[in-house]
């Protein structure tokens, strides 16, 4: 492993992976406890529409992708807030439409073909330093916001009605959370790919949720676990010459399954002793 | 002065009238049960008192203020003692949520708040469980934590929505004894569709089925309500229907009510 880090690209990949782990650990905790995993998937896929717009109209890449994702995210947030019981269906529709819209726009863009695979799995091994800087800035801004609004976010996630009675601006906070989610998802996708973002948003928070006693603990533990997955996955990818993003996800998935099995065994043992 | 004052209130949901011309004045230190059939508007009325909903017509005043302004002096115990059991939060952190003040984001969560939270838990005999995760507690214990959360801000008014839904019959009796104790210095208002236990402890009853009928304390004689009332007839006080099936009348007719 050590000798792998003689290479610049491996050092950058590691830094990108660790930054993604921390960002996804914090956002993922909020995603999991607010049960908006599906909505996050919707944002991540619909973002492809923004990429299509950027290519077709030759607009700058980041602003148009972020703008389009924010728009799609706000529509999904409005719907999921207003008609909760139909939210998943509408999100599914926007999910598919955004992606198809992007693909058709890219079809119609003469002479250019964006690689869909790199959108899905990213190219963590070719991350430029500038992207690392963007991720670091996003990470710091996001962490600051989460720390400042921590009590409000906690109350809203746990008991929305009670939070509202206590004067928490629940609606604004919810839209703010989704907006922040959209921005971070787009930026992190750029670096590590859509599939890895979804995996890092969901798997570590899910595993640590039952052991954590507070949201902070869950955020910190998710970030650490994500970092462990990233490092292990990168090592496998380097050692056996495998796709890095997919390796990281496989490691996460295996630990996820082990944690499920451990729960089952512990549950059975408790029942047996009771 | 009445702690809750509702005047000529109308509320409709999707164009369908849920509450019509509701008037209610709740005295300080009253112990009111709001009863009525499912869909009769009990929870809606509660949400109007909490300021979660806005009336279409008429006014709601709590402690002489709008529900939003009065929010610090209202303690609220929600119906659902929470479905998300795996949520990473301890009992004391749930109680601390009651001290939330969004206007003071940076200076809250002080040691004083923590002492208050522990005191509220102690009052509910739950202080030994302060650092346990909420999902590991039993339904009755969780209920007590939620009441502690409502009490931590030292409210003048305690509103509870179907508080005994997740407690067994024995626990329910204990629970209402506890509420009676709290009622010594706090106005208590309980929404319930279960008259079985309530009748023994409350001082007055408000029947809600689109309209509201208020029965003062003198009319309640105690433990005679043996069954849940069937509720079929609209705009008739549901409690009357129960009374018909029993050997004696529980509440007077609405017509005879002093206005």
Task: Tell me the average pLDDT of chain A.
Answer: 89
Chain A residues with at least one Cβ partner in B under 8 Å: 33, 148-149, 151-152, 154-155, 157-159, 161-169, 209-210, 212-215, 217-218
Report the pLDDT averaged over residues B218-229.
Answer: 38
Q: Do A168 and B90 touch (CB under 8 A)?
A: no
Residue-by-residue DSSP string for A229-273: HHHHHHHHHHHHT--HHHHHHHHHHHHHHHHHHHHHHHHHHHHHH
Nearest by CB to B100, from A33, A148, A151: name it: A151
Instruction: Say which CATH number the domain at B220 has.
Output: 3.40.50.300
Q: Is B254 a domain residue?
A: no
Task: Tell me the average pLDDT of chain B.
Answer: 78
Q: Is B137 a domain residue?
A: yes
Q: Do B100 and A215 touch (CB under 8 A)?
A: no
Contact (CB, 8 A) for B219 and B257: no
Burial label, A171 (beta-carbon count in 10 A; 0-12, 13-18, 19+): middle
B41 touching A (Cβ < 8 Å) = no
Q: Is B76 a domain residue?
A: yes
Give the pLDDT confidence score for residue B108 in this predicted structure: 55
Contact (CB, 8 A) for A105 and A56: yes
* Chain B interface mutation, best of A162, A212, A219, A267, highest count of B Cβ atoms under 10 Å: A162
pLDDT of B118 over the 50 cut: yes
* Residues forming beta bridges with residue B75, ordered by sequence position: B158
What residues of chain B lie within 8 A of the CB of A221, using their CB? none
Structure-token pair, residue B46: 């509660």
Q: Which of these ranges, B42-51, B65-74, B181-190, B223-232, has the smallest mean pLDDT?
A: B223-232
What residues of chain A lie within 8 A of the CB of B94, using their CB? 158
Assign B238 a pLDDT band (cuts: 50, 70, 90).
very low
Assign B109 a pLDDT band (cuts: 50, 70, 90).
low
Give the pLDDT confidence score for residue A69 in this predicted structure: 94
Q: Is B257 a domain residue?
A: no
Domain extent, residue B8, equals 4-244
What residues of chain A lie within 8 A of the CB of B106, using their CB? 148
Contact (CB, 8 A) for B206 and B215: yes
- For A179, other C-beta atoms within 10 Å of its C-beta total 16
A49: Cα within 13 Å, side-chain hemisphere: 20
* Chain A interface mutation, best of B88, B101, B104, B110, highest count of A Cβ atoms under 10 Å: B88
Give the residue from A196, A189, A199, A188 showing the smallest Cα distance to A99: A189
Domain ranges of chain A: 8-264
Nearest by CB to B50, from A165, A210, A212: name it: A165
Report the pLDDT averaged over residues B80-100.
Answer: 84
Most confident of A99-113, A123-137, A167-181: A167-181
Q: Do B105 and A214 touch (CB under 8 A)?
A: no
Q: Is the domain covering A8-264 a CATH 1.10.3470.10 domain?
A: yes
Q: Is B249 a domain residue?
A: no
**Considering its fold, how many domains does chain B have in total?**
1
Structure-token pair, residue B243: 């009374």
Share above pLDDT 70 across residues of chain A, in percent, rounded to a whole number: 96
Give the pLDDT confidence score for residue B251 in this predicted structure: 57
Report the pLDDT averaged over residues B226-231.
Answer: 35
Assign B218 a pLDDT band (cuts: 50, 70, 90).
very low
What residues of chain B lie within 8 A of the CB of A165, using their CB? 50-52, 71, 74, 76
SS3 label, residue B167? coil
Assign B99 a pLDDT band (cuts: 50, 70, 90).
confident
Nearest by CB to B102, from A159, A167, A214: name it: A167
Give the distance from residue A79's alpha carbon to the nearest chain B alpha carbon, in angstroms.
17
Structure-token pair, residue A163: 């939070």
* Residues forming beta bridges with residue B31, ordered by sequence position: B188
Cα–Cα distance between A222 and A208 in angstroms, integer? 6
Distances (CA, A) of B164 to A96, A245, B40, B178, B221: 45, 50, 19, 12, 22
Q: What is the ipTM of this complex?
A: 0.85
Q: Which of these ranges, A84-88, A249-253, B8-12, has the smallest mean pLDDT?
A: A84-88
Q: Do B88 and A212 touch (CB under 8 A)?
A: yes
Give the pLDDT confidence score for residue B245 in this predicted structure: 35
Report the pLDDT averaged over residues B70-83.
Answer: 80
Give the pLDDT confidence score for residue B2 in this predicted structure: 85
Nearest by CB to A213, from B68, B90, B106: name it: B90
What residues of chain B lie within 8 A of the CB of A167, using their CB? 68, 71, 100-103
Nearest by CB to B102, from A158, A169, A215: name it: A169
Size of interface A-B (CB pairs under 8 A): 77
pLDDT of B220 over the 70 cut: no
Assign B131 a pLDDT band (cuts: 50, 70, 90).
very high
Contact (CB, 8 A) for A200 and A28: yes
Contact (CB, 8 A) for A55 and B106: no
Structure-token pair, residue B33: 């049960």
Nearest by CB to B71, from A155, A167, A218: name it: A167
Q: Do B87 and A157 touch (CB under 8 A)?
A: yes
Assign B258 a pLDDT band (cuts: 50, 70, 90).
very low
What interhelical angle do B169-182 and B139-151 show, nearest 10? Answer: 10
Q: Do B88 and A213 touch (CB under 8 A)?
A: yes
Give the pLDDT confidence score for residue B90 in this predicted structure: 94
Structure-token pair, residue A100: 């198809």
Contact (CB, 8 A) for B90 and B131: yes
Report the pLDDT averaged over residues B59-70.
Answer: 89
Question: Which residue shows structure tokens 């970092």?
Answer: A227
What interhelical angle do A8-33 and A37-56 show, nearest 10? Answer: 130
Structure-token pair, residue B13: 């949901």
């Amino acid at each position: 492993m050590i000798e792998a880090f003689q290479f610049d690209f491996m050092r950058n990949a590691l830094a990108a992976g660790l930054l993604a782990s921390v960002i996804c650990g914090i956002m993922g905790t909020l995603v999991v406890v607010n049960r908006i995993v599906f909505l996050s998937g919707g944002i991540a896929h619909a973002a492809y529409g923004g990429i299509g717009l950027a290519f077709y109209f030759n607009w700058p890449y980041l602003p148009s992708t972020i703008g389009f994702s924010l728009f799609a995210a706000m529509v999904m947030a409005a719907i999921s807030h207003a008609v909760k019981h139909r939210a998943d269906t509408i999100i599914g529709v926007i999910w598919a439409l955004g992606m198809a819209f992007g693909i058709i726009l890219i079809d119609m863009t003469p002479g250019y073909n964006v690689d869909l695979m790199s959108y899905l799995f990213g190219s963590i091994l070719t991350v430029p330093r500038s992207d690392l800087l963007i991720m670091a800035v996003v990470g710091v801004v996001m962490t600051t916001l989460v720390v400042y609004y921590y009590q409000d976010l906690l109350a809203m996630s746990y008991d929305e009605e009670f939070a509202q009675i206590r004067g928490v601006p629940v609606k604004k906070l919810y839209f703010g959370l989704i907006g922040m989610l959209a921005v971070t998802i787009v930026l992190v996708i750029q670096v590590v790919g859509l599939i890895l973002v979804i995996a890092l948003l969901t798997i570590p928070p899910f595993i640590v949720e039952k052991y954590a006693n507070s949201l902070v603990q869950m955020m910190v533990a998710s970030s650490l676990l994500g970092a462990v997955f990233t490092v292990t996955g990168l090592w496998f990818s380097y050692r056996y010459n495998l796709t890095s993003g997919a390796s990281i996800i496989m490691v996460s998935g295996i630990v996820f399954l082990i944690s499920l099995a451990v729960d089952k065994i512990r549950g059975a043992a408790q029942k047996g002793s009771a | 002065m009445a702690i809750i004052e509702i005047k000529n209130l109308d509320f409709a949901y999707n164009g369908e009238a849920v509450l019509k011309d509701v008037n209610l004045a709740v005295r300080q230190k009253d112990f009111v049960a709001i009863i009525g059939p499912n869909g009769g508007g009990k929870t809606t009325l509660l949400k109007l008192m909490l300021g979660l909903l806005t009336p279409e017509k008429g006014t709601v005043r709590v402690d002489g203020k709008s529900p939003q302004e009065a929010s610090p002096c209202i303690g609220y115990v929600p119906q659902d003692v929470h479905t998300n059991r795996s949520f990473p939060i301890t009992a004391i952190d749930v109680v601390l949520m009651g001290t939330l003040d969004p206007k003071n984001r940076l200076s809250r969560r002080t040691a004083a708040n923590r002492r208050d939270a522990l005191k509220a838990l102690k009052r509910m005999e739950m202080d030994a469980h302060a650092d346990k995760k909420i999902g590991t507690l039993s339904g009755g214990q969780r209920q007590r934590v939620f009441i502690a959360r409502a009490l931590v801000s030292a409210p003048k008014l305690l509103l509870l929505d179907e508080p005994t839904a997740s407690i067994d019959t024995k626990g329910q009796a204990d629970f209402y004894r506890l509420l009676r104790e709290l009622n010594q210095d706090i106005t208590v208002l309980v929404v319930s569709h279960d008259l079985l236990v309530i009748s023994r402890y409350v001082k007055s009853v408000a029947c809600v089925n689109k309209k509201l009928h208020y029965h003062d304390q003198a009319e309640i004689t105690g433990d005679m309500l043996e069954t849940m009332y069937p509720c079929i007839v609209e705009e008739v006080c549901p409690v009357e229907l129960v009374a018909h099936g029993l050997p004696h009348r529980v509440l007077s007719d609405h017509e005879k009510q002093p206005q």
